[in-house]
Structure 1
Amino acid sequence: MPVVHRFDPPDRFVPGTVGEPGSRTFFLQARSGTQLTSVSLEKQQVQILGERIAELLDELITSDDARSTVPAVTPVAMIDTEPLEQPIEEEFRAGTITLSWDGDDERVVIEVFPVAEVEIEVPVEAAEQDLIELPIEEPEPEELLLVRMSAAMARSFAARAESVVAAGRAPCPLCGGPLDPQGHLCPRANGYRRSTTL
């Protein structure tokens, strides 16, 4: 049985970062009372999760699946700009993340599973004949983060995810790549160094 870090509902569930732009570490952090769980993940995972949550909520607004009101924007009382809570102790690194809607309880459900490291043993005969079509059985995760939250909290999470992702390095106006404080070698400028003063 995996260890389940369950928050149903959390007092707080937010994405956040530690470090300077260009070398930030991204986290999902859930708190309920004194229970605090932090899971590290990639910037793209934060961005996609925020976008998918916003899309799910927008779909619920136009459907009959939600009996209560699903907010179209973040309620003012739910806006959270506070930093991550201390201590930030990584429980695991996020791999697969699932998102669903529980219509009975009217909760957005997020499950975060750790990165699975699967070792594959290939029989010598199969390797010699390039017959590597073996079914891969992923091991049961040792732990997971389970968050069940209201639509209003989910809308707040999506808005914060967008702002956290956007708070990184400014994009180069020519190539779109991230600009470091000292600039970068821009492929659209024939390798000339572009600076952040553009």
Structure 2
Amino acid sequence: MRRAVRDAPGYSGRAMSRVIHVFRQPERFVAGTVGEPGDRSFYLQAIEDSRTVSVLLEKQQVSVLAERIAALLEEVARRFGDDRPGAAGDGTDLDPLAVPLEEEFRVGTMGLGWDADSQSVVVELLAVSEEEIDESVVLDDTEEGPDALRVFLSPTQAQAFADRAEKVVSAGRPPCPLCAEALDPQGHVCVRLNGYRRRTPVED
């Protein structure tokens, strides 16, 4: 059994059992959504040269990844004495996902690391698998395991990804001020009101 590590735009070869899409100098790595609030599908998309890979995942996974990237950057700054990149602010990439949007796979397991040689944050997203994932598969070119997307990000790129991801996650339905659950356009059964329906405020 062999694997395929796709690390160049001109990759070609016969089909292998495992495909690892590697982006060492991505022009873009962002979180984005398709659909209306309350019915959104979440994607991560990497672009480098002529390659674009998009993977589907859950809202909670996007949120967790953003939080862990922020924590990793703080740890790197603490250990190596480097200043943590500031928030991207107005420079955050807010453009929509590139189309056509073709889902490569649905994300099951996520990995995160720091590559000291390239001074990069490494994000790895592994496809959902029916079999239990061995930890040795994550961030490794093992011959067996689920397909994966591996992206190398500079600290600045990683911070920008986290900033945008937080915006994407929070851009859905507004939370109920009483129970913090998401409000639906037609209203919301609030547990703090003993099951009475709380109407969504009408926006101008």
User: TM-score interval w.r.t. the shorter chain?
Assistant: 0.7 to 0.9
Q: Secondary structure at the match of 2:85?
A: coil
Is 2:38 the partner of 1:25?
no
Shift of 1:141: 2.7
Q: Secondary structure at the match of 2:42?
A: strand
Q: Do the aligned partners of residues 3 and 51 (structure 1) sit closer, same or farther apart at CA in structure 2, a change above 3 Å counting? A: same
d(CA) in 1 for partners of 2:187, 2:201? 9
Measured against aligned partners, the alpha-carbon deviations of 1:73-104 in whole angstroms (never above 9, x if no partner) come to 22754x10000000111000001110000111
Contact 1:6–1:147 (CA<8 Å) still a contact in 2?
yes
Shift of 1:70: 3.9
Pick the aligned partner of 1:106 from 91, 98, 119: 119
Shift of 1:62: 2.3
* TM-score, scaled to structure 2: 0.81
Contact 1:102–1:108 (CA<8 Å) still a contact in 2?
yes
Q: Do the aligned partners of residues 75 and 179 (structure 1) sit closer, same or farther apart at CA in structure 2, a change above 3 Å counting? A: closer
**Equivalenced residues, count:** 178
> Which letter does structure 2 place at the counterpart of 1:4?
I
d(CA) in 1 for partners of 2:178, 2:153? 41
Pick the aligned partner of 1:86 from 99, 112, 133: 99
Which structure 1 segments of 5+ residues have no match? 119-135
1:125 aligned residue: none
Pick the aligned partner of 1:54 from 57, 65, 70: 70
Q: Secondary structure at the match of 1:145?
A: strand
Contact 1:65–1:103 (CA<8 Å) still a contact in 2?
no
Contact 1:38–1:89 (CA<8 Å) still a contact in 2?
yes
Contact 2:20–2:150 (CA<8 Å) still a contact in 1?
yes
> Which letter does structure 1 place at the counterpart of 2:130?
E
Shift of 1:147: 0.2
Q: Do the aligned partners of residues 170 and 98 (structure 1) sit closer, same or farther apart at CA in structure 2, a change above 3 Å counting? A: same
Measured against aligned partners, the alpha-carbon deviations of 1:99-147 in whole angstroms (never above 9, x if no partner) come to 00011110000111011113xxxxxxxxxxxxxxxxx676933421010
Q: Do the aligned partners of residues 168 and 13 (structure 1) sit closer, same or farther apart at CA in structure 2, a change above 3 Å counting? A: same
Contact 2:119–2:154 (CA<8 Å) still a contact in 1?
yes
* Percent of paired sites with the same residue: 51
> Which letter does structure 1 place at the counterpart of 2:121?
V
1:124 aligned residue: none
Q: Secondary structure at the match of 2:95?
A: coil
1:133 aligned residue: none
Q: Do the aligned partners of residues 62 and 137 (structure 1) sit closer, same or farther apart at CA in structure 2, a change above 3 Å counting? A: closer
2:86 aligned residue: 72
- Answer with 1 or 2: which has the greater Rg: 1
1:148 aligned residue: 152
